[in-house]
Amino acid sequence: MTDLHPLAGVYAAAVSPLRNTDASSFDFESTLTFLHFLADRGCHGALLFGTTGEGPSFSPREREIFLRSVRVVRQQIRGFKLLAGTGTPSLTETIELTKLAYELGYDGTVVLPPYYFRKVSDDGLFQWFSELIEKAVPEGKYLLGYHIPPMTGIGFSLDLLERLKTKFPNQFAGIKDSSHDEAYASAIGQRFGKELLVLNGTDSYLQHALKNNAQGAITAPANLISDNLRQVWDLHQEGKDPSDAQKLVSEQRHFLEQYSPITPILKGLLHQIHGLPHWAVRPPLESANDKTIADAAEKFSKIMDDSTAKRVATLVKTEKI
């Protein structure tokens, strides 16, 4: 397909590498290694300071320090895109962080609605995002709204999306849809087609979302399963059936959903399975203990082993090998 948005693709909602001896400080030494790991496993890019990255737990100054240090990866990995989570309940802070991300060369920003006031109207949200875009998003750059009502208590109605897209047809690129709502994914695709960039946040709905004009995904499990998500995405772009790949992705997602919040187990499994440092999490999150991580790693690896065995058996049966 050739009608894809420049930000289309598979992204990890990246965990934030924090020193396991001091959760108040970033592990800068291993951060670039981690981003190379994601790129090698099929990620088109990464979102920093999303929900999985514990974004709301970091001050604007801390985010600035990390965003400045990480941007060098764009020079090291050709085509690897960086998105920054810049939303806070404060419009002023959000404007400042969003402007900073573009000044540092980030490809896009992902912005939560102001989540403290949960009963605001579409008119209020339209005014908030209009001021943000007018003051912080340059021409030629892209902002995505972050639609995650289970966490924020408010989201983006279809009418609000249409108003923002009409007023800012280029700068307001679309949304990261973490509603976990198949009906919403269908409705948004039917209403906007590919005019609105939708990056799906629910791995188990990826094939469904792509069929309904989504152009990729930003997910927490992509820290571990981006290779399989990329297979679903690639097959869809090639006009082939990704159903088998989607089944594996869905099984992996459903397994990881047993652990909530998901960030501690992702950091544990990245260490246990892939040998990355066992990064800390910030309070109020708590790190997963060694036994929980070891048990999860064994069960998670078995999902992959069983899938491989089934695939080989199918190939033998059909005499493809």
Q: What is the pLDDT of residue 315?
A: 38
3-state class (DSSP) for residue 255: helix
What are the two backbone dihedrals, phi and then psi, of residue 250, each rounded to the nearest 5 degrees? -65, -40
**Residue 197: other Cβ atoms inside 10 A:** 24
CATH second-level architecture of 9-240? Answer: Alpha-Beta Barrel (3.20)
Q: What is the pLDDT of residue 223?
A: 98
Q: Are 274 and 294 in contact (CB under 8 A)?
A: no
Q: What is the pLDDT of residue 116?
A: 85
**Which DSSP symbol is given to 287?**
P
Asked whether residue 308 carries a pLDDT value surpassing 80, the answer given is no
User: In this predicted model, what pLDDT tens digit does every residue of 101-120 receive, in sequence order?
Assistant: 999 999 999 999 998 888 89
Q: What is the pLDDT of residue 309?
A: 43
User: In this predicted model, what pLDDT tens digit does every residue of 23-78 receive, in sequence order?
Assistant: 789 999 999 999 999 999 999 999 999 999 999 999 999 999 999 999 999 889 99
Asked whether residue 124 carries a pLDDT value surpassing 90, the answer given is yes
Q: What is the pLDDT of residue 118?
A: 85
Three-point CA angle 246, 161, 125, nearest 5°: 120
Q: Are 196 and 156 in contact (CB under 8 A)?
A: no
Q: What is the pLDDT of residue 313?
A: 44
Q: Is the peptide bond before 150 cis (omega within 30 degrees of 0)?
A: no
H or E element, residue 1: none
For the chain, the average pLDDT equals 93
String of DSSP letters for 150-201: HHHS----HHHHHHHHHHSTTTEEEEEE-S--HHHHHHHHHHHTTSSEEEE-
Q: Which of 163, 164, 161 is closest to 184 using CA atoms?
A: 161
Q: CA 101, CA 109: separation in Å to the nearest integer?
A: 7
Q: CA 245, CA 247: separation in Å to the nearest integer?
A: 5
